[in-house]
Structure 1
Amino acid sequence: MMPLTLRPETPADSAAIEHVTVAAFKNATHAAHTEQFIINALRRAGMLTVSLVAEDGGTIVGHVAISPVSISSGASGWYGLGPISVLPERQGQSIGARLMNAAMAALKDLGAAGCVLLGDPAFYSRFGFQPQPGLVLPGMPPEYFLALRFHGDWPVGTVTYHDAFNATS
């Protein structure tokens, strides 16, 4: 088996990233099934701060996207993780964990203050993410809105993702 390679996306990867994303979320009951549109809209807007692919033998099997978020208090240097996708037949092989760790390392290298995400606390707590009472994502259950701080004080306020998260096509 070829070793798994993690690398930044290239323009030639967009169709494969879309395929992985659609497949990963196909049977997810919590998903809006617009994740691939979000990634494409973030890319078009120049807002994919970090976009990494997991490649195995020339085939893209996973992807993670990170984009800037704004916080109503004016705190800067915060980013949102997601979507993160792994092909269903490759899930449970630590590909998602490797993508998470690489994405967090990339954010730290950029000097980010922290990262937020909407996801399962049972999975993301292993990476240090936890609910942070002062950070709110309106309309979402607070126990699923998680944050990881790299430096500085915890911000307090309402988090807003880029408009691309409203993309439906």
Structure 2
Amino acid sequence: MEKLWIRREAEEDISSIHRLVARSYETARHSAHNAPQIVEGLRDADVLSLSLVAIQGFDVVGYIAASPVLISDGTGGWYGLGPVAVDPERQNAGIGGSLMGQALQELREGGAGGVVSLGDPDFYRRFGFEVIEGLAYRAAPAGELLAMNLCDSSVPQGSVSYHQAFGSPYQD
């Protein structure tokens, strides 16, 4: 198997990212199947704080994004992690885990207070995400908003709001 490289997205990756994210979320249980449009909306609004691709050979085989979230208690420096996408033919080969590790490292190094995620709880729990009592997102089924504190600050309490690219303009 070819070596996996993870790097920031480049302009020439954008169409490959779109195709990859669409394929990856086509049958995903934890998805409204609008992930490609979310990525485009975040990119167009210039709020992609992190946009990483995983490359094998010459192919984009994985993708992860992070963007700022608002928390009703005023806590700043928290990010929403996702979408996370891996080529369906290459899933369960460690690509998603490698992307997650790199994204969390870069967010820590950048001074992020913490991250929240929506999606497959089993995937996110492997990296230390957990349900935090008092932190909520009204559009998520119970137990699917997971969070991780990345620094020694206190964990926020309140309602999480994602960028409007996720479907609602910074509202819970």
Q: Deviations over 1:44-96 (max 9, x none)?
A: 11110000000000100000010000000110000000100001000000000
- Give the alignment's Cα RMSD to 1 decimal: 1.1
Quote the offset at 1:119 in angstroms: 2.0
**Residues of 2 paired with 1:121 and 1:29: CA distance?**
11
Aligned length: 167
Q: Deviations over 1:83-142 (max 9, x none)?
A: 000010000000000000000001001100000001222221110000001111013123
5+ residue gaps, structure 2, are none
1:155 aligns to what SS in structure 2? coil
**Residues of 2 paired with 1:138 and 1:69: CA distance?**
14
5+ residue gaps, structure 1, are none
Identity level (%): 44
**Residues of 2 paired with 1:117 and 1:30: CA distance?**
11
Tell me what 1:115 maps to: 115
Q: Which runs of 4 or more aligned residues in structure 1 lie more than 3 Å from their structure 2 counterparts after TM superposition? A: none
Tell me what 2:77 maps to: 77
TM-score w.r.t. length of structure 1: 0.96
Question: Is residue 51–residue 63 contact of structure 2 (8 Å, CA) maintained in 1?
Answer: yes
Tell me what 2:100 maps to: 100
**Residues of 1 paired with 2:75 and 2:86: CA distance?**
31
Q: Deviations over 1:17-66 (max 9, x none)?
A: 00110110111233211100000110011110000000000100000010
Q: Deviations over 1:127-168 (max 9, x none)?
A: 00000011110131231110000120011010000011128x
2:61 aligns to what SS in structure 1? strand
TM-score w.r.t. length of structure 2: 0.94
**Residues of 2 paired with 1:29 and 1:93: CA distance?**
20
Tell me what 2:132 maps to: 132
1:38 and 2:38 correspond: yes
**Residues of 1 paired with 2:142 and 2:70: CA distance?**
17
1:124 aligns to what SS in structure 2? helix
2:53 aligns to what SS in structure 1? strand
Question: Is residue 53–residue 63 contact of structure 2 (8 Å, CA) maintained in 1?
Answer: yes
**Residues of 2 paired with 1:31 and 1:97: CA distance?**
19
1:14 aligns to what SS in structure 2? helix
